[in-house]
Structure 1
Amino acid sequence: MSRAVAAVIEPPVRDVDEIRQDLRSQGASAIETDTQVSFIPEAFGTVIATKLGAKPSVAAEYMEWDVPGLDEFSLAQEPL
Structure 2
Amino acid sequence: MGVSCQNHSAFVESIAQSAREDASDHDLEAVVLRAVAQQSDTLSLPDVLELRAVLDVDVDETAPLEVRVATIVDAIEATVASWPRQEVPA
Quickly name the TM-score band, shorter chain normalised: 0.3 to 0.5
TM-score, scaled relative to structure 2? 0.33
**Which structure shows the higher strand fraction?**
1
Largest Rg, 1 or 2: 1
